[in-house]
Amino acid sequence: MAEMAEASSDATRIAADARDRVRFEEEALALADQVYGVARHLAGSREEAEDLMQEAYARAFRSWRSFQPGTNLRAWLLRILTNLNIDRGRRQQRAPQMQALEANDYFLYDKLAQDDGGVTDEDRVVERLSQDDIVSALSAVPHDFRDVIVLVDIGDFSYQDAAQILDIPIGTVMSRLHRGRRVLKRELAESVAEDVR
Amino acid sequence: MTETHEDPCAHCEEMMQPYLDHMLSDEEMREAEMHLDECDWCRRRYRFEESLRRYVRQAANQPMPADLKLKLAALRIPLE
C-alpha cells in the first residue's frame, strides 16, 4: 500500500516537473523573436546570430531548472547568449578603444541639417539615414560599447538589467553607453559623407 | 533652487542623454524643460536625438528567419 502511494507521488512529481519544463520551453520560445532582435546585433553577422541563438536555446532548455520563475526570462536568455558569445572566442577581452571622440553630442544633427540646407523638421533630418547606414554603423561600433547600446537602446533593457546580463557595474554601463552612442553617431556621420561622395 | 549656468545651452547638452533616458531628478528635469521651452536651438537638437533613437531601434529591428524558429523549437527536450 505504502509502495503504491510512493509510486503515485513519484508519478505526480514527474508529471508536474514535465509540465513546468514544457511551460518554460514555451515561454522561452515565445521570446525568441525579441531575443533574436538583440542577438542579431551582438553577433557579427546573421549567420553567427543564428548559431548563437541555437546554442543559447539548447543550453537554456538543458538548464531550465536554474531559471527562477517570476524573474526576467528575456534577460536570463540573453545572459546565456552573451556568455556564449564571449566563450566562442570571437571576442578578445580587451579594453574598449579609446580614440578621441567629437567634443559635442550634436555633431550628427549639425552635419545632417547643414547638408540639408537648414531643414525644420527633425524627423525628416533623421530620414536621411538609411536602414543599411544604421545597421552597418552599429556593426562598426566596438563590441564593448555595442553590447550596451544593443541591450539598452534596441533591447529596451534597463541599465540594471544590462549590468547583470553583461556582468559589469552599472557605472560602466552608463559610461559605455555615453561613449558608444557618440561612436555610433560618428559612424553614421561617416556613412552620410560616403553616400554624398 | 535652480542653478544658473554660464552657458545654459552647454549645460542643456550635458543633460540631453540622461533626459532621454529618464535618469534626471525631478528638479533637473524641470530645469531642462524650462530651457527647452525658451530655446529653439536646443529644442531642435533634443527632438533630433529622440527621433534618432527611435529610428535606430526601428532600423535595427530585423525579424527572425522562420526556419530558425523551427530549429529552436526542435531543440526542446522530448518528454519521456
pLDDT of residue A59: 97
Q: Is the pTM value of this prediction over 0.95?
A: no
Residues A170, A159 contacting (CB under 8 angstroms)? yes
Q: Is A19 domain-assigned?
A: yes
Q: Is A161 domain-assigned?
A: yes
pLDDT of residue A93: 45
CATH class of the region B8-74: mainly alpha
- Digit-coded pLDDT (tens) for A102-127: 667 788 888 887 766 655 677 677 88
Q: ipTM, 2 decimals?
A: 0.84
Q: Is A93 domain-assigned?
A: no
What total number of domains does chain A contain? 2
- Digit-coded pLDDT (tens) for A46-93: 999 999 999 999 999 999 999 999 999 999 999 999 999 888 765 544
Residue whose entry in the numeric block shows the C-alpha cell 514527474: A14
How far is CA A157 from each of CA A21, A115, A181, B68, rounded to the nearest angstrom? 26, 34, 16, 24
CATH number at residue A54: 1.10.1740.10
- Domain of A75 in residue numbering reads as 2-87
Q: Of A25, A53, A131, which has the smallest distance from its Cβ to B76's Cβ?
A: A25
For A:2-61, CB contacts with B below 8 A are: 18, 21-22, 25, 29, 32-33, 36-37, 40-41, 46, 50, 53-54, 57-58, 61
Contacts of B60 in chain A (CB under 8 A): 37, 40-41, 134-135, 138, 150, 154
